[in-house]
Amino acid sequence: MAPHHFQHHPRMKKYMLSLLLAFGILAAAAQDKYDEVLLTSGVEYQGKVLEINEKEIKFSHKGETLVYSIARSSIFRIQFASGRTEVMTAIEKEGDKAAVVTEAKIDRNMVAVLPFRFVSNKGFGAWEEMSYNIQREAYAQAVGAGSRYSFQSPQVTNAILLRRGINPQQLRAYSMDELCSILGVGFIMTGEVSMRSTGYVATGSQQTVQTNKPGYNKPGTTTTSTVTIQNNRWNETYNTVVNLHVYNQQGGTIFNRSKESVWSTPDAYKITLNYLLKRTPL
């Protein structure tokens, strides 16, 4: 009997082709991974880190071959495609020397309210300013509710964060336990407000006006006519969703809830935020 050569077997050929195809898919998927460079300004780039030296890195953006030089002092962190993370600069600087951020003394009964993330398909002013507006609203409502906890003033919270170069866009680069240590608090409150325009609705009132005109049939007399005027005003309506989160000093989640507002006005987030705050354990 002639020896059996597996390479000529039709099933084996199909198996080998499937195996090669699988390897090709895995290789293509691996090629889609990129290095992520997060700047201290909050801007994030994706591409390939080609070189790192004492003063700068060499970097090519995703889909490009041009090589850029980026100063190390402007880079907060690099997340490599391999999964390794490297922090390039400290959070706070004194002169030209990077200073280590020391942990503040923790007040376990203190709550810090962070600027909220704001999402909208309409212009409500600067994104950052709306984040601060919602932060102040959450603080005012929480303090007014008579909580057994004390709340750090937003002015103090923001001053501490900004002195360390942390703006609202960069907050997601830190874990909640890290932020508790930086702010010296036992709890962190934060969240997101989404406001999307859903159209317009007409509201108005009717006004009745009487006019007098000379009489046509009898000279020297007048006739009175009544006209009803509809005064319409078009108001824009919104769909508002508020997410509220509370974390403890260890970074654990102690409250996480979302609520869609039943109101359609631009300030509907205030009522919805109040609804959620009353249900937190603080």
Q: What is the extent of the structural domain holding 54?
A: 6-97
Q: What is the mean pLDDT of each run of 10 residues along the chain (282 residues)?
A: 50 62 53 78 80 91 90 84 78 39 70 92 64 94 90 91 84 91 93 88 60 59 58 76 95 95 90 94 89
Residue 123 forms part of a structural domain = yes
Tens digit of each residue's pLDDT (9 = 90 or more) over 121-149: 765 554 568 889 999 999 999 998 888 89
Burial grade of 231 (CB within 10 A; 0-12, 13-18, 19 or more): exposed
Q: Identify the pLDDT of residue 123.
A: 57
Domain count, the chain: 3
Query: What pLDDT is stored for residue 268 in this prediction?
Result: 92
Contacts of 107 (CB under 8 A, 6+ apart): 150, 184, 185, 186
Domain end, chosen from 97, 120, 143, is at 97
Residue 131: inside a domain: yes
Tokens standing for residue 144: 């007014």
Are 125 and 241 within one domain?
A: yes
Supply the CATH number for residue 26's domain: 2.30.30.100
Same domain as 123, residue 133: yes
User: By three-state DSSP, how is residue 193 classified?
Assistant: strand
Same structural domain for residues 55 and 140? no
Q: What is the pLDDT of residues 52-88, one digit of tens each?
A: 998 899 999 988 899 999 988 878 778 898 888 787 7
Q: Which residues contact 222 (CB under 8 A, 6 or more apart)?
A: 212, 213, 214, 215
Do residues 30 and 150 share a domain? no
How far, in Å, CA of 182 to CA of 146, rounded? 26
Query: What CA–CA distance (Å, rounded) separates 34 from 26?
Result: 15
Backbone angles phi, psi at 32, to 5 degrees: -80, -10
